[in-house]
Structure 1
Amino acid sequence: MPPTITATDRPLEKVPGDAVVVGVGRGPAGLLPTPGAEAVDRLLGGRLLPALADLGARGGEDEVTRVATLGQAPFPVVAAVGLGAPGTEGHYSPEAIRRAAGAASRALTGRGSVVTLLAAVGGAPDAERLHAVGEGALLGAYEFTAYRSDLPADRPTPPGEYTVVVPDAGEAKAPLARIRAVAAAISLARDLVNTPPNDLFPAELAARGAAAGKRAGLSVEILDEAALAAGGYGGILAVGGGSTRGPRLLRLTYKGKKARKKVALVGKGITFDSGGLSIKPAANMHHMTSDMAGAAAVIAAVCLVAELGLPVEVTATVPIAENLPSGTAYRPADVLTFRNGKRVEITNTDAEGRVVLADALVRAAEDSPDLLLETSTLTGAQLVALGSRTAGVMGTDELRDAVVAASRRSGEPMWAMPMPPELRRGIDSPIADFVNANADRMGGMLVGAHFLAEFVPSGLPWAHIDIAGPSYNTGSPWGYTPKGGTGVPVRTLLATIEDAITD
């Protein structure tokens, strides 16, 4: 069962819990207490802050220091979580609070109920800080254990109940409902990414996406191989042709009441990417179970928009295929014809994401949306340029910048990237309209965006979000980010859509 979250305005000494979470910052002279830490310190007779100092707490990000209350309070443990150094005027960002809440959730495994005072960081709690606390707590408690057969029934589990202390619990009702919806959507995306490819082949991803859509009240359409052939989806069929498990195209549509905008979402759904005949090195190929993270994100995002009942029309178009080498696989030197009639010479079958996305972009644009948002684990060049935590955003300038601004508020770091016109020449072909991959590896993330731009109609605002690194954490957990699927960029997609309908 997912953890629950509620709010209370009762005095701290009357709020039961197995642990209380407070925040502490890092200052030049030592710990910087926050109102929550000071409140607990007073309750404990002034002994909390000296105890934290004695235990070596420094207030750094992701640092959690636990102190036993020894019967001096109605809760047995205080968890002081680091916020890092404060910004201007002593403020901590919502993302610092979100990370702290997540780190506390991970550190308090085995504690059933947790009371958190992190919403008081920076003064009286507001909706933004409440969202940060709630999202961080619930996302930090995420775990994926579907394939573990050795888990004892009495094993320590993440906290199952969170109580946020606020001045007015009644005003927290709406923010908490949104927090629950956002956490559920991100958990859906994480679960899909973490499911191994032998169980999440193209038809199964389409079925799971359709089931999620139906639960959210969406209209659902799935195109199989015959329908894809009839519809002229040459790119999706080519990439999926090497597998015995055929490709699909999933479409999920939400039509909100009094819709103000029509938004198209497109997400890459390669359920496993071996590279095809241009096969990848064996090292780290197992990470390609995450090559459908873009698909997972847009499925979760459109379901989240429906759950929140936003006044917008959103359609997610999800091309799904498995890229494997076989006697029926597409080849370097093949020329493919896409749904819009354009022809592409294949120079690298491992540049397959853009090939399936091309057909999906064409289909999405046929709905005449006001804007188009596409996300994909498109290039290793994104990791080279921006690292594992920052996505690259390309497209039309205004929408690209709007996406980056939304990402900053959402806590999903992104960076605006250019599309230099000279790089477009790198995909010229002597025999077709263009090639799918440039032999020159320089600017690979930007070249990928140029390829996608060929399938977006002129005048349509669009943005491409390359999440090759941020969507899948191959290292240790940090903040509210687990190992494996992260759920990026669900929150940014939601924020961008909300911004669009309020313009």
Structure 2
Amino acid sequence: MITLHATEATLAEGKAPLKVVWVRKGELTPQGEVLDAHLGGFLRRAMAEAGFKGEAGESLLLASSEGSFLLFGLDEDIRATGGRLAQTLSKLAFPEVLVEALEAYPLAEGLLLGAYRFDRYKEKKEDKALALQLSGAKPEELDRAKKVAEGVFWARDLVNEPPNVLTPEALAEAALSLRALGIEVEVLDEEAIRALGMGAFLAVAQGSENPPRFLHLRYAPEGARERLDLVGKGLTFDSGGYSLKPTESMATMKGDMAGGAAVLGALKSAALLGLPVEIRGYIAACENMVSGRAYRLGDVLKTFAGKTVEVMNTDAEGRLTLADALAYAERQGAKRILELSTLTGSAVVALGEEVAALFATQEAWGKRVEEAARKAGEKVWPLPLEKAYREKLKSLVADMKNVGDQYGGAITAALFLSEFVTVPLVHLDIAGPAFAKKAHVLGPEGGTGFGVRTVLEVAQGLTEAA
């Protein structure tokens, strides 16, 4: 467990069993220079003897009569530096560390995110406590980083839970815990969902023994003048249905609710931070399974919006659940919507595993989300809503099909979603960055919590513009 504390003490003045000294391209930072002078040039001599240049993430542990020092190479991305440092410190046996804050907030965020672990189901757990003193940081910066990280951690935990544990009902129970933070949570059961006419959502859910749940959450602080509506994909497991996924693709499908997890994580952090903006969240939670009751290719479904959809691929299920959730959000008075979903493999083919695809029906809204993602340190890239591709979704028997041909799949999926709302919509296809297949600088293998920080930056931007 890692804890962060602000201190005014410099590296030369402070007391700690280990002091981290930043190095960038062979040069010490000003605090490092003062410390080295205090040590009689010990650090620079050690660097020269070891040939240490301070490449990003490179480290050199030193010991002297004055204490222990960790020379550490700075990355251009300060969050990444924090994540790398947290992972390096976890392998050392120091209970307390003093580190120069530099850019305090992103460094603190990186330190916290990089230290994340999910070991709930392991017999042996990491329980080592590590206290970090950040020289020059302000307490409010560290407090904000902690509250943002709490939302990211919760989103990661939800994604990392095994699918036999995190069923749609269990996801609803998790959402209900937000009531303790003053967030209104409404959970609709299968009967209520059917009464609303969410035929697309119910079709996806009908093959599973575990019943669906529709979640409507509302964070409404007093005095809020702006509103943000979020929709997150909530497939707690996706087998692909009769368009069955291969084993290697299905293995990570417990994470097909990462969009919904990001919505829940963002709501939690927003409440902890006390952001003065109303935020609503909508999640259609279900499983896509194979059974005698499962929906089939060729079925025609009637959506909440009244449009009909011909099913041509049961593994294109997320857009069906989202169609009903998006239309419901607009019915609830949404003026702008940000939707997050692990929607298509095509987005991963186009942009890889670290970049989300951004589609916007309104340029200004798209630019605002894109800028928020940049500030948050989450990588997104805008792709076009090419209207000509709408032809690929034409059906002979219904208003549209749920898939096009094999080309431009991320675009046709986004076009499909855009059919169900008239208000400005940003669709973030987070299929690549939502789940890490190997350890990375900001965390281990598994759920990343991607989107939580972007949503919070969007919400913060709305309050500043109000």
How far apart are 1:14 and its partner, in Å?
A: 4.5
Pick from 168, 175, 190: which aligns with 1:209? 175
TM-score w.r.t. length of structure 1: 0.88
How far apart are 1:156 and its partner, in Å?
A: 7.0
Which residue does 2:117 correspond to in 1? 143
**Structure 2 CA distance, aligned partners of 1:449 and 1:398?**
17
Distance 1:277 1:139, change over 3 A: same
**Structure 1 CA distance, aligned partners of 2:182 and 2:97?**
33
Which residue does 2:84 correspond to in 1? 103
**Structure 2 CA distance, aligned partners of 1:156 and 1:219?**
34
Which residue does 2:3 correspond to in 1? 4
What pairs up with 1:302-381 in 2 under 5 angstroms? 302-381=267-346
Which residue does 1:442 correspond to in 2? 407
**Is residue 64–residue 107 contact of structure 1 (8 Å, CA) maintained in 2?**
no
How far apart are 1:56 and its partner, in Å?
A: 4.4
**Is residue 59–residue 71 contact of structure 2 (8 Å, CA) maintained in 1?**
yes
1:449-484 Cα shifts (integer Å, max 9, x gaps): 001001112xx1220111101111102x23223211
Q: Secondary structure at the match of 2:390?
A: helix
Q: Does 1:463 align with 2:454?
A: no
How far apart are 1:404 and its partner, in Å?
A: 1.1
Q: Secondary structure at the match of 2:169?
A: helix
The amino acid across from 1:495 in the alignment is E
**Structure 2 CA distance, aligned partners of 1:104 and 1:40?**
20
How far apart are 1:22 and its partner, in Å?
A: 2.9
Which residue does 1:428 correspond to in 2? 394
**Is residue 83–residue 97 contact of structure 1 (8 Å, CA) maintained in 2?**
yes
Distance 1:20 1:228, change over 3 A: same
Pick from 35, 38, 42: which aligns with 1:43? 38
How far apart are 1:201 and its partner, in Å?
A: 0.8
Gap regions ≥5 residues in structure 1:
85-91, 121-128
1:100-122 Cα shifts (integer Å, max 9, x gaps): 111010011143222211x23xx
Which residue does 2:451 correspond to in 1? 489
1:372-409 Cα shifts (integer Å, max 9, x gaps): 10000001111111111111110121111111111111
**Is residue 331–residue 346 contact of structure 1 (8 Å, CA) maintained in 2?**
yes
RMSD: 1.7
Which residue does 1:234 correspond to in 2? 199
Distance 1:334 1:53, change over 3 A: farther
Which residue does 1:268 correspond to in 2? 233
Q: Secondary structure at the match of 1:39?
A: helix
Q: Does 1:83 align with 2:103?
A: no
**Structure 2 CA distance, aligned partners of 1:388 and 1:39?**
42
Which residue does 2:63 correspond to in 1? 69
**Structure 2 CA distance, aligned partners of 1:332 and 1:290?**
24
Larger mean CA deviation between 252-261 and 347-356 belongs to 252-261
Which residue does 1:55 correspond to in 2? 50
Pick from 218, 230, 250: which aligns with 2:215? 250
Which residue does 2:134 correspond to in 1? 164
Which residue does 1:19 correspond to in 2? 18
**Structure 1 CA distance, aligned partners of 2:200 and 2:308?**
10
Distance 1:353 1:36, change over 3 A: farther
How far apart are 1:12 and its partner, in Å?
A: 2.8
Which residue does 1:126 correspond to in 2? none
Which residue does 2:243 correspond to in 1? 278
Which residue does 1:414 correspond to in 2? 380
Q: Secondary structure at the match of 1:263?
A: strand
Which residue does 2:436 correspond to in 1? 473
Pick from 165, 186, 194: which aligns with 1:199? 165
**Structure 2 CA distance, aligned partners of 1:47 and 1:320?**
59
1:223-271 Cα shifts (integer Å, max 9, x gaps): 1111111111112211111110011111110112211112110000111
How far apart are 1:292 and its partner, in Å?
A: 0.7
Q: Does 1:133 align with 2:127?
A: no
The amino acid across from 2:160 in the alignment is N
Q: Secondary structure at the match of 1:272?
A: strand
**Structure 1 CA distance, aligned partners of 2:379 and 2:461?**
17
**Structure 2 CA distance, aligned partners of 1:53 and 1:441?**
57
**Is residue 12–residue 34 contact of structure 2 (8 Å, CA) maintained in 1?**
no
**Structure 1 CA distance, aligned partners of 2:49 and 2:321?**
57
Q: How many residue pairs get matched?
A: 462
**Is residue 342–residue 429 contact of structure 2 (8 Å, CA) maintained in 1?**
yes
**Is residue 64–residue 103 contact of structure 1 (8 Å, CA) maintained in 2?**
no
**Is residue 22–residue 32 contact of structure 2 (8 Å, CA) maintained in 1?**
yes
The amino acid across from 2:435 in the alignment is Y
**Structure 1 CA distance, aligned partners of 2:45 and 2:350?**
44
The amino acid across from 1:276 in the alignment is G
Distance 1:80 1:68, change over 3 A: closer
Q: Secondary structure at the match of 1:12?
A: coil
Which residue does 2:95 correspond to in 1? 112
**Is residue 346–residue 410 contact of structure 2 (8 Å, CA) maintained in 1?**
yes
Distance 1:156 1:199, change over 3 A: closer
Distance 1:83 1:344, change over 3 A: same
**Structure 2 CA distance, aligned partners of 1:463 and 1:83?**
34
Q: Secondary structure at the match of 1:245?
A: coil
Which residue does 2:149 correspond to in 1? 183
**Is residue 186–residue 216 contact of structure 2 (8 Å, CA) maintained in 1?**
yes
1:259-314 Cα shifts (integer Å, max 9, x gaps): 11121100001111110110001124211111111010000111211221122111
Which residue does 1:500 correspond to in 2? 462
**Is residue 277–residue 349 contact of structure 1 (8 Å, CA) maintained in 2?**
yes
Residue identity over aligned pairs, in percent, reads 40
Distance 1:247 1:39, change over 3 A: farther
Q: Secondary structure at the match of 1:419?
A: coil
